[in-house]
Amino acid sequence: MKKNNKIFIETYGCQMNFSDSEIVASILTNDGYELIPNVLEADIIFINTCSIRENAEDRVRKRLYYFKSLKKKNPKLVIGLLGCMADRTRLALVEEEQLLDLVAGPDSYRHLPDLIRQISKEIPAIDTILSTDETYADISPVRIDSNGISAFISIMRGCENYCSYCVVPFTRGKERSRDAASIIEETKDLFEKGYREVTLLGQNVNSYRWTNEEGTINFAQLLELIAEVNSRIRIRFATSHPKDISDELLYTIARHDNLCKAIHLPVQSGSDHILGLMNRKYTRKQYMERIEAIRRILPNCAISTDIISGFCEETEADHQDTLSLMEWVGYDAAYMFKYSERPQTLAAETLKDNVPTGIKDQRLQEIIQLQQKLSLERNKLEIGKTVQVLIEGRSKRSEDHYFGRTIQNKVVVFSKTIAQPGDLIKVKILSVTSATMIGETVES
Ligand code: SAH
Ligand code: SF4
Ligand code: F3S
């Protein structure tokens, strides 16, 4: 065992980043470090960061000042920054503000043990080189804060879509797919350990492609292979890009009861003018055609989305197009954001961030309010139905209640029974809010 071996990892950003922290935890525990839950006892603090919007970066900066204050009491404390802010902010944070001892980008985690050893020579250790082939395929993640039921599996890294507002292609580099056999092995291993749900992760899972001597596997084929690992394990995935979601994929989902009937299909805007400026590569009409295909092939499928308010040049008419498309689809859920200009992106370099903040806020509020109404309407359709729920654990609000999710990814709360977390149970839906459904278990 090493002397300064207690590591604390704090994670921001998307599910992929949380999955990456589990890869980091695996690499470090294999090298003799111990992962601990309390920051005040740590010898090394890692913050795994997100650059997607300016406020995400501000939050990280604030935490770094706090961590720096801990260094006054413990001068040997090491502070390291991982993830999407690594390359973008290393100069400011290491040289100007001297907040960091270590910086590692998303493709450099295998080097962390060496980088930590370099710091002991009192040189800040930095590695932010992006790779074209790193997928961490052979690394078996150490699950952090796990409920023992659901787990993430990264199947791709990077993104080359270059949506004009988005920083991800710059922070995570080229798109690459992970060896299919290693994904199937990881799923089998999780099932044997008692996990009953996996979420396959990538920025655009529909463009998954793995080629070996036997041929090429696309995303629909991968999904089928994973569904067949065991019918008791539920499979979710995120994110689907609307330009790439194929009928083949929808038919595959229809064929398997354990492939979740929930599709996250970020639309970003309902206006063709804005979609063009965003470089999303689909029109409103093409998006609607994909929604119709989902409704036709998967009639019981929940659909969720991401929306950005106040992108460059967005007019009131463009905004109204977004609202009318939301109504037309009737989304079950949405993540909604105010546009935040990111350095390096096409929008930052070629367009004007010219919608005033007040208007961005007002439009965002209208979008949020409409979504609350739509979520409630969609959830109300479930009242009276008996649905299958995967129990995830005890409800946060009540000792006597469990919570779990339906195959459509809707949260259900119900009175505890003799069933255990990880079990599938039938629940009749009695009442709903826009966020949760309340039910009672029924004898099967
Ligand atoms: N790969 C996924 C999403 C990745 S980022 C996709 O293509 O849909 C998650 C969400 O953050 C995006 O869908 C978008 O809605 C939002 N987002 C990305 N960049 C943003 C920015 N500069 N300002 C505001 N929201 C942004
Ligand atoms: Fe960003 Fe677009 Fe890639 Fe999604 S698909 S990560 S929004 S560039
Ligand atoms: Fe953020 Fe990077 Fe994910 S920018 S959203 S942590 S890919």
Cis preceding linkage at 239, omega within 30? yes
SS percent in the chain: helix, strand, coil, step 5: 35, 25, 40
The pLDDT score that the predictor gives to residue 380 is 98
Q: How far is the CA of 321 from the centre of ligand 2 (A)?
A: 22
Distance CA(304)–CA(301), nearest Å, equals: 10
Model's pTM, two decimal places?
0.96
Give every CB contact of residue 209 below 8 A, 6+ residues apart in sequence.
177, 216, 217, 218, 219
Q: Is 13 in the pocket of ligand 3 (CB under 6 A)?
A: yes
Q: Is 52 in the pocket of ligand 3 (CB under 6 A)?
A: yes
Q: Is 169 in the pocket of ligand 2 (CB under 6 A)?
A: yes
| Average pLDDT value over all residues in the chain | 95
167, two tokens: 């920083």
Distance CA(280)–CA(96), nearest Å, equals: 37
Same fold for the pair 6-127 and 386-441: no
| CATH code of the region 386-441 | 2.40.50.140
Q: Whose CA is nearest to atom 9 of ligand 1?
A: 306
- DSSP state at residue 178: P
Distance CA(101)–CA(94), nearest Å, equals: 7
Question: Is residue 373 scored above 80 in pLDDT?
Answer: yes
The pick from 15, 50, 159 for probing ligand 2's pocket by mutation, whose C-beta has the most ligand atoms within 8 angstroms, reads 159
| Average of per-residue pLDDT across 418-439 | 96
| Average of per-residue pLDDT across 221-231 | 97
The pLDDT score that the predictor gives to residue 91 is 73
pLDDT (tens digit, 9 = 90+) per residue, 166-195?
A: 999 999 999 999 999 999 999 999 999 999
Q: What fold does the segment set 150-380 form as a domain?
A: pyruvate-formate lyase- activating enzyme (3.80.30)
Residue 214 confidence class, pLDDT cut points 50, 70, 90: confident
Residues whose beta carbon lies within 6 Å of some atom of ligand 1: 52-53, 165-166, 168, 203-204, 239, 241, 266, 268, 306, 308, 337, 339-340, 342
**Ligand 2 closest atom vs CA 241:** 5
pLDDT (tens digit, 9 = 90+) per residue, 53-90?
A: 999 999 999 999 999 999 988 989 999 999 999 998 87
pLDDT (tens digit, 9 = 90+) per residue, 246-301?
A: 999 999 999 999 999 999 999 999 999 999 999 999 999 999 999 999 999 999 99
Domain extents for the chain? 6-127, 150-380, 386-441
56, two tokens: 């995400």
124-127 own/partner pairs: CB under 8 Å, 24+ apart = 124/94, 124/100, 125/101, 126/90, 126/94, 126/102, 127/103
pLDDT (tens digit, 9 = 90+) per residue, 85-129?
A: 999 887 777 776 778 999 999 999 999 999 999 886 667 899 999
239, two tokens: 């994110």
CA 168 to each of CA 17, 94, 164, 308, 367: distance values in angstroms, whole numbers, following the listed order: 12, 22, 10, 16, 24
Q: How far is the CA of 261 from the centre of ligand 1 (A)?
A: 23
Q: How far is the CA of 86 from the centre of ligand 2 (A)?
A: 18
Residue 139 confidence class, pLDDT cut points 50, 70, 90: very high
Residue 399 confidence class, pLDDT cut points 50, 70, 90: confident
- Check residues 2 and 179 and name the one with the higher pLDDT: 179
398, two tokens: 């009540």
Q: What fold does the segment set 6-127 form as a domain?
A: Rossmann fold (3.40.50)
